[in-house]
Structure formats: C-alpha cells, structure tokens
Structure 1
Amino acid sequence: MSAVTQGISRRHALKLGLGATAFLASAGLTASLSGCSSSSAAPGFSVLRASDMAFLRAAIPVMLDGALKGVSLSGAVDQTLQSLDRGLAHLSPEMLKLTQQLFDVLAMAITRGPLTGIWGSWEGADADAIRHFLEHWKNSSLNLLRQGHSSLLQLVLMAWYSRPDAWVPCGYPGPPKI
C-alpha cells in the first residue's frame, strides 16, 4: 500500500464526497433560486434553456468526436440539440430537475471554473480543454462527478444515435422491419 493511499482514510473519503455533494447541490439550488438559470425554454426548444446552449454547443462536438463522418458539424450539433430537447421533454419532472441542475452547475462561472477547469465562457473553451474536463469527471474520485459525466455522455449519445441519419456512418441498418 502506498503512502498516498495510507493517508486517505475511508472516513476522509466519505467526508470529501459528502462535502462535494453538498457543494454541488447548493450551487444548483442557488442558481435556480437566484434566477441565474431561467426556467423558460430557449426559442425553438421545449425544454433546453438559453443558459444550457453554450455548454452543449461546446461539448457536443467533443463528445461526438469520431462519430461525425460525412456529416456537417453544425448540422449535427443542431440536430443533436433538437433530439436532446425532445428526449428531455419526456423525462419525469424530478429527472428533468436533476438534469437542469447539472446544466446550471456547468453554466455558472462560480462552479464551472473549479469543477471543470474552464474559467472563461464555454464559447471560448477549446476542444482540448473540454476533453480534459470530461476525462477528469470520468476518472474523478468523487462519485457525483463520475455520475455527472455518465449522465452527460448518455444524454448526448442517445440524442445523436436516436436519429436514423446517424446510423449510416456506423453501419447500423436500423431496426428490423416487422
């Protein structure tokens, strides 16, 4: 056992995890209560808000890297956003609330910087910085960040691959005809 793992007790790890959970929950709640996040949908969407768009427009190309052969990047992002919006509209109110809290944490500068390493706006973040943030969350020692990564990835990939025109580049012929 290394000196590093010996220095971190189970109790310390639990305290750290609880502290991070409380921080993220209070940040999302603060954003909702302070008006930092709008509850109204962006024009042309039924659920996604304007505050969600900057993050999603920056992250979707990175998350779909390698899946966009022969497809326009801007078209793929727009189509994925529309598909994601339709999917979110069918979530239970509680699941939608949790998803919006995750987007709020990523939108607020006070939480975005420390949690993602993206200190400026999402529009100014380059693909490598976004890739690093996603990798950091994926491999985090905090379960809440790993869950956030998994949720983001699943939402975006389901939105992209739910569309029939996304099947052709990966060789999927579609569901069998009944």
Structure 2
Amino acid sequence: MVQHSFAMQRRRFLQLGLGAALVMAVVGGAVVWLRPGLQAGRIAPAVRSALTRLSEAILDRSLPADASARASAVAAQIDRLDTFIAGLPAATRDELSQLLGLLVAPPGRRLLVGLSTDWPQATVEEVRDALQDMRLSSLSLRQQAYHALRDLTNGTYFSEPQAWAGIGYPGPVDL
C-alpha cells in the first residue's frame, strides 16, 4: 500500500511537471509572438541592450581598453549586426527573431540564458558566466543558442579590418 501511494505521488509529480512545462512553452511562445526580436527585419529596440551586453562579454578582450573607445566599438558592432541580420534570408531572420525575442523576455533570459539580472544591469562577468553555462549545458537548445550568438557576434566584429590588428591578422594576401 505504501508503494502504491508513492507511485501515485510520483505520477502526480510528473503530471504537474509536464503541465508546468507546457504552460511555460505556451507563455514563452506567446511572449515571442507578441514581442519579436526583429521588427521589419531590423533589431528591435528592446534587443539592443541584450546584444550590447552579449557583445561586451563575447568580445571582451578584443575590445579597446579605453571606456569611450570600447563603447564606440560596441555601438558600431550592434550597427554591423543590424546590417548583417537585415541581409539574411527571411526564414533565417524569422528564426533569429524568435531567439532574440526569447533573450529579452524575462522567462527566456532566465531559462535559456540562465541570467537573472536584466540585460541593462548585467555585468560583463555575469553575462560571460551565463554564456559559459549555455556552452556547457546538457540541453542542445542552450548550446545551439550559445553558438548562434557567439558566431553572429564574432563574425560581424572580425569582418571589419579595424579588428584584425587586435588578433594579429595582417589582412588578406594580395594575389
């Protein structure tokens, strides 16, 4: 009789967990639908602070040490990201819009990124730690999101010749 009671409790716990996951999925989907990460193919204003913090954390050692030059480099990076994203195929922009929408929604920021602090108040260290947790996560969705964010950030930043000197790249060889 005791085992039967435990089985019923475990079954009820699993049902509650499944129900909570379903509710979170619906709420998360509704948030992204109501607040997409891209508007008319461009970065939504709410997403800019998230991408700023992500860029600061991902590019930390590659950015200028001077605070003013660093802020200017990050602002230029966000503009490059915006231009790059606008040139992506519509289907890719739609997927990216969903990811970015999740990043700025508090439940998505907490569950996908693992960051409890709002983007504007998050420190570089907090974001770097959250990114490291995403990279090492056992959930492939979190790892995929990490790689997408890192690749977008690095690809657009290092596409600029001004960034090459910082990594010792002399530029393309003339043929």
- Check whether TM > 0.5: yes
The reply on whether 1:56 has 2:51 as its aligned counterpart is yes
Residue matched to 2:95: 98
Task: Please state which structure has a larger fraction of its residues in helix.
Answer: 2
Q: Deviations over 1:4-63 (max 9, x none)?
A: xxxxxxxxxxxxxxxxx9888755531243x2336536xxxx611112111111111110
Question: In the TM superposition, what are the counterparts of 1:96-175 in structure 2 within 5 Å?
Answer: 96-175=93-172
Q: Return the offset for 1:106.
A: 0.8
The TM-score normalised by the length of structure 1 is 0.76
> Paired residues, what number?
154
Q: Return the offset for 1:172.
A: 1.4
Greater CA radius of gyration, 1 or 2?
2
Q: Return the offset for 1:96.
A: 0.8
Give the CA RMSD over aligned residues: 2.6
Residue matched to 1:177: 174
Instruction: Measure the CA separation in 2 of the matches of 1:31 and 1:171.
Output: 43
* Partner amino acid, structure 2, of 1:48: I
Instruction: Measure the CA separation in 1 of the matches of 2:115 and 2:46.
Output: 16
8 Å Cα contact 1:70/1:169 also seen in 2: no
The reply on whether 1:88 has 2:88 as its aligned counterpart is no
The sequence identity of aligned pairs, in percent, is 25
* Partner amino acid, structure 2, of 1:109: P
Structure 2: tracts of 5 or more residues without a match = 1-20
Moved over 3 A (4+): 21-29
Residue matched to 2:8: none
Q: Deviations over 1:54-94 (max 9, x none)?
A: 11111111100111246721111111111111211121111
| SS at 1:66 equivalent | helix
1:23–1:73 distance in 2 versus 1, CA, 3 Å: farther
Residue matched to 1:67: 62
8 Å Cα contact 1:28/1:101 also seen in 2: no
Structure 1: tracts of 5 or more residues without a match = 1-20
* Partner amino acid, structure 1, of 2:43: L
| SS at 1:167 equivalent | helix
1:143–1:22 distance in 2 versus 1, CA, 3 Å: farther
The reply on whether 1:36 has 2:35 as its aligned counterpart is yes
1:96–1:125 distance in 2 versus 1, CA, 3 Å: same
1:23–1:106 distance in 2 versus 1, CA, 3 Å: farther
Residue matched to 2:42: 47
Q: Return the offset for 1:120.
A: 3.1
Q: Return the offset for 1:114.
A: 2.9
